């Protein structure tokens, strides 16, 4: 019983810090996207291309979680000055306190995007709220079409699922239909976007999704401000 209590208290403490991160991000009008997936599904490559496409148009910052190297952050520095590496040591996921410390190191990109690249792991990151506004889960085709059923908790909480490396589908014998069927059981509201990032396939669809989330957040924040100014209670989610 002791173990359970400690786990619960860790999650409770995390939730408090996550809520504070959420307020902080909302006050700057930032869409904060927590990217989660197995190792090697293409999170960093997606971010490289995303930063390249958003450069000069929408302000962005990136927090990158990794056990001990700075390899992903080094790759992303080529595309943005606003990249912070969070090394978790042996920690298998990011937590809200690490993200809070990461946010301290950057100027929040007002009205733009904060991308949080989680540690490559399909289990533990799902349990830790970071205070993000959106959760995006990547599934690369070489991992196999059974992964939604095998790691349902991760997919349940996703706001969008990205099927990556779709250019390999024909070589692999991957069944898209299986993913769609399993996803219908665990999460019927998250859209499935298909990408082959290195071949620039699907990037426009992904950027359109990002901009939709940003527009929706701006609308929500405007409504809250206007409700507050007219004396109504502010809407909190």
Among 120, 131, 134, 193, binds its own copies (CB under 8 A): 120
Piece of the chain touching its own copies by CB under 8 A; list 49-57, 120-128, 189-197, 223-231:
120-128
Between the CA of residue 99 and those of 1, 34, 105, 188, 228, what are the distances in Å?
Answer: 29, 10, 10, 29, 29
Residue (39 or 234) nearer to its own copies, CB: 39
Among 16, 40, 107, 181, interactor with its own copies by CB under 8 A: 40
Tell me, rounded to whole angstroms, the distance of Cα 116 from its chain centroid: 6
The answer to whether 34 touches 159, Cβ cutoff 8 Å, is: no
**Closest CB to its own copies among 74 and 212?**
74
2 near its own copies, rule: CB under 8 A: yes
Q: Which of 1, 12, 56, 68 binds its own copies (CB under 8 A)?
A: 68
Task: Kindly tell me which of 22 and 165 has the beta carbon lying closer to its own copies.
Answer: 165
Among 1, 81, 90, 233, which residue interacts with its own copies (rule: CB under 8 A)?
A: 90
113, 143, 160, 202: which one binds its own copies (CB under 8 A):
143
**3-state SS record for the chain:** CHHHHHHHHHHHHHHHHHHHHHHHHHHCCCEEEEEECCCCCCHHHHHHHHHHHHCCCCCEEEEEEECCCCHHHHHHHCCCCCEEEEECCCCCCCCHHHHHHHHHCCCCCCCCEEEEECCCCCCHHHHCCCCCCEEEEEEEHHHCCCHHHHCHHHHHCCCEEEEECHHHHHHHCCCHHHHHHHHHHHCCCCCEEECEHHHCECHHHHHHHHHHHHHHHHHHHHHHHHHHHCCCCCCCC
Site for its own copies in 184-203 (CB under 8 A): none
The site for its own copies, by CB under 8 A, has a size of 36
- Binding flag, residue 14, its own copies (CB under 8 A): no
Smallest separation, CB 3 to its own copies (Å): 6
Q: How far is residue 237's CA from residue 234's CA, in Å, rounded to a whole number?
A: 10
Going residue by residue from 147 to 176, which x/- string records binding to its own copies, judged by CB under 8 A? x-xxxxx-----------x--x--x-----
Spatial distance between the Cα atoms of 116 and 215, rounded to a whole number of angstroms:
20
Piece of the chain touching its own copies by CB under 8 A; list 2-10, 16-24, 186-194, 210-218: 2-10
144 binds its own copies (CB under 8 A): yes
Residue closer to its own copies by CB (options 115, 151) is 151
Write out the residues near its own copies by the rule CB under 8 A. Answer: 2-3, 6, 10, 38-40, 66-69, 71, 90-92, 119-124, 127, 140, 142-144, 146-147, 149-153, 165, 168, 171
């Amino acid at each position: 019983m002791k173990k359970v209590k400690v786990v619960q208290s860790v999650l409770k403490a995390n939730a408090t810090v996550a809520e504070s991160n959420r307020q902080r991000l909302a006050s700057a009008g930032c869409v904060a996207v927590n990217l989660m997936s197995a190792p090697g599904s293409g999170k960093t490559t997606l971010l490289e291309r995303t930063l390249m496409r958003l450069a000069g148009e929408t302000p962005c910052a990136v927090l990158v979680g990794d056990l001990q190297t700075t390899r992903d952050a080094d790759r992303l520095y080529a595309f943005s000055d606003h990249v912070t590496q969070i090394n978790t040591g042996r920690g298998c996921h990011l937590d809200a306190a690490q993200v809070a410390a990461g946010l301290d190191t950057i100027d929040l990109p007002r009205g733009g995007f904060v991308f949080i690249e989680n540690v490559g792991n399909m289990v533990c990151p799902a349990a830790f709220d970071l205070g993000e506004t959106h959760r995006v889960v990547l599934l690369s085709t070489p991992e196999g079409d059974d992964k939604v059923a095998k790691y349902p908790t991760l997919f349940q909480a996703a706001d969008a699922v990205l099927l990556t490396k779709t250019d390999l589908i024909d070589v692999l014998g991957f069944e898209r239909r299986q993913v769609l069927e399993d996803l219908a059981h665990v999460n019927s509201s998250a859209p499935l976007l298909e990408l082959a990032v290195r071949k620039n396939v699907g990037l426009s669809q992904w950027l359109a999704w990002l901009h939709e989330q940003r527009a929706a957040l701006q609308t929500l924040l405007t409504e809250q401000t206007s409700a507050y100014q007219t004396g109504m209670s502010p809407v909190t989610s």
